[in-house]
């Protein structure tokens, strides 16, 4: 069964406007996306693979096409949630229609922002031409932003459906998750003993829009390839033999001429993706700046006992609802970043020695608008220096919990052990961007360890020492990512509340 498809009775009480007004607004926004895509693709031309500027230009435009195409899919799903309950139940939703739609509209905003960032980074002529274009009130990009925010404002802020939590779901902790998926559909093995020798070939064998899990078992090995799971490949499960034994590696980087979005060694967009016992790494040198090991745009995606290694921008939690359990994540600058709505539970967060920048930031949440539901929540995690630094045992890099990539950046650490690697101020501003300090939301709740001392923390209006469990509960698995509605079907153990 689709991990995103356990549903309850649908209704339209969550809309602030009549359903026909909502539908008309969605259709109007779809037209804006169509026109914006046309303007951007009109600048797509043949490129010289040896010209880095042309190659970067081509990748940025291609990424935009994919991202805007995903926006179209997300908006169409929202229409299904309104007037096609059967289609919604069968394919798309968790049962909490209000939360689903707000998540999808927020993801569409993230896609649009990524598109424009890529074009800007690639220094293309598209952005300048759009500013002077007479198409759609001279600024399609701004029009799309306003349209998506307008749609979000038509949907009430979520009031979570209470999903039944049976003992079966709570005690999934005691089950061997690999036993549940012990009969893979295909096997990848570099020695030729499986169905495929490359992971991407196995991915391409998976059915499109699958309502059932399609399991790929990847035998131990270092897989030097780039994996991209598209938006039409649903409910893919990838299981390795161990996060240090089955590793996917690459070295694309911004410094190497790739847009950040395109640097990912492993990328997934199709909904319901699950990774278990897998390692993902980007080995680009630190002076090449952004270099993503894994990017997830997948709604209802989950990662269990996985490893993510890189330097700057290691893990790109791009958009939609995501869950990370017992994972190991290491890096230097903004090494967990993006605009997803993600919970990290019982994860090891490791700060690497940074000889380039001299200081590290763990998170960079890019929530740009108050209407967006993006945010990162860390629960029962540990934060240490990465022991990978073998020749310099005492060398550490001052590390901050995060900095605001977006104006409304939102990140919470709760019940987490923080070693003395965490700077006493806790948080860092964005390159002097003090205008974000009263609109962001950074919170800490019942953390422990020498790095959790609150006496020296920043005095920003947007920083909060959370003292009430009722406030902290809003950032738990059950409430923040509606985990009770979809995580039981992944078979990954989790704690829904504060524990």
CA distance 497 to 486: 15
* Helices and strands, number each (H, E), in the chain: 11, 26
Catalytic: 244? no
Residues 230/205, Cβ–Cβ less than 8 Å: no
Residues 212/185, Cβ–Cβ less than 8 Å: no
Residues 383/329, Cβ–Cβ less than 8 Å: no
Q: What is the DSSP letter of 44?
A: -
Helix (H) or strand (E) holding 268: strand 266-268
CA distance 472 to 364: 20
Triad 232, 316, 275: Cα angle to 5°: 55
CA distance 301 to 289: 27
Query: Edge-to-edge strand order for the sheet containing 227-229?
Result: 227-229, 266-268, 294-296, 315-317, 333-338, 360-365, 399-402
Helix (H) or strand (E) holding 223: strand 221-224
Q: Tokens 């045992």 identify what position?
A: 393
DSSP one-letter string for 415-467: S-EE-TTB-TT-B--STT-GGGTTT-EEEEES-BSGGG--TT----TTEEE--
CA distance 147 to 153: 10
Residues 328/243, Cβ–Cβ less than 8 Å: yes
Catalytic residue among 63, 334, 386, 484: 334
* Helix, strand, coil % in the chain, rounded to nearest 5: 30, 20, 45
Token pair for 466: 């959370």
Nearest Cα to Cα of residue 314 among 342, 344, 350: 350
Nearest Cα to Cα of residue 339 among 116, 156, 94: 116
Work out whether strand 321-325 and strand 410-414 pair parallel, antiparallel, or are unpaired: unpaired
Query: Which residue numbers are catalytic?
Result: 334
């Amino acid at each position: 069964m689709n991990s995103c498809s356990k549903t309850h009775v649908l209704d339209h009480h969550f809309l602030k406007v009549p359903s026909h007004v909502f539908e008309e607004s969605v259709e109007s926004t779809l037209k804006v996306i169509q026109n914006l895509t046309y303007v951007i693709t009109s600048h797509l031309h043949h490129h010289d693979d040896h010209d880095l500027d042309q190659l970067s230009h081509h990748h940025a435009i291609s990424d935009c096409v994919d991202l805007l195409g995903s926006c179209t899919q997300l908006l169409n799903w929202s229409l299904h949630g309104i007037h096609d309950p059967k289609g919604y139940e069968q394919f798309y939703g968790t049962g909490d229609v209000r939360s689903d739609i707000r998540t999808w509209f927020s993801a569409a905003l993230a896609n649009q922002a990524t598109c424009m960032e890529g074009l800007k980074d690639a220094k293309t002529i598209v952005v300048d031409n759009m500013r002077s274009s007479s198409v759609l009130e001279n600024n399609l990009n701004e029009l799309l932003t306003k349209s998506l925010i307008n749609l979000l404002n038509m949907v009430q802020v979520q009031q979570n459906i209470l999903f039944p939590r049976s003992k079966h779901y709570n005690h999934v902790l005691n089950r061997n998750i690999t036993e549940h998926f012990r009969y893979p559909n295909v096997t990848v093995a570099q020695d030729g003993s499986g169905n495929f020798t490359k992971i991407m070939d196995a991915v391409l064998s998976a059915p499109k829009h699958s309502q059932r899990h399609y399991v790929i078992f990847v035998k131990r090995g270092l897989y030097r390839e780039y994996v991209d799971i598209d938006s039409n490949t649903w409910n893919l499960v990838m299981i390795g033999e161990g996060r240090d034994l089955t590793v996917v590696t690459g070295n694309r980087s911004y410094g190497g001429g790739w847009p950040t979005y395109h640097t990912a060694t492993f990328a997934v967009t199709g909904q319901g993706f699950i990774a278990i016992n897998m390692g993902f790494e980007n080995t680009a040198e630190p002076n090449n700046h952004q270099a993503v090991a894994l990017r997830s745009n997948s709604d209802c995606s989950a990662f269990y006992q996985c490893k993510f290694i890189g330097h700057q921008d290691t893990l790109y939690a791009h958009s939609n609802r995501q869950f990370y359990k017992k994972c190991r994540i290491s890096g230097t600058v903004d090494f967990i970043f993006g605009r997803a709505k993600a919970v990290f539970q019982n994860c090891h967060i490791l700060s690497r020695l940074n000889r380039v920048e001299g200081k590290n930031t763990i998170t960079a949440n890019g929530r740009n608008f108050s209407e967006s539901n993006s945010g990162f929540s860390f629960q029962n995690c540990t934060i240490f220096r990465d022991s990978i630094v073998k020749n310099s045992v005492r060398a550490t890099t001052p590390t901050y919990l995060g900095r605001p990539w977006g104006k409304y950046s939102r990140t919470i650490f709760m019940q987490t052990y923080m070693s003395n690697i965490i700077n006493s101020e806790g948080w860092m501003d964005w390159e002097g961007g003090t205008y974000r300090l009263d609109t962001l939301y950074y919170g800490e709740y019942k953390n422990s360890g020498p790095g959790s001392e609150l006496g020296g923390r920043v005095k920003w209006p947007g920083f909060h020492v959370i003292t009430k469990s009722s406030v902290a509960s809003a950032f738990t698995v059950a409430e923040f990512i509606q985990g009770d509605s979809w995580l039981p079907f992944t078979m990954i153990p989790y704690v829904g509340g504060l524990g």
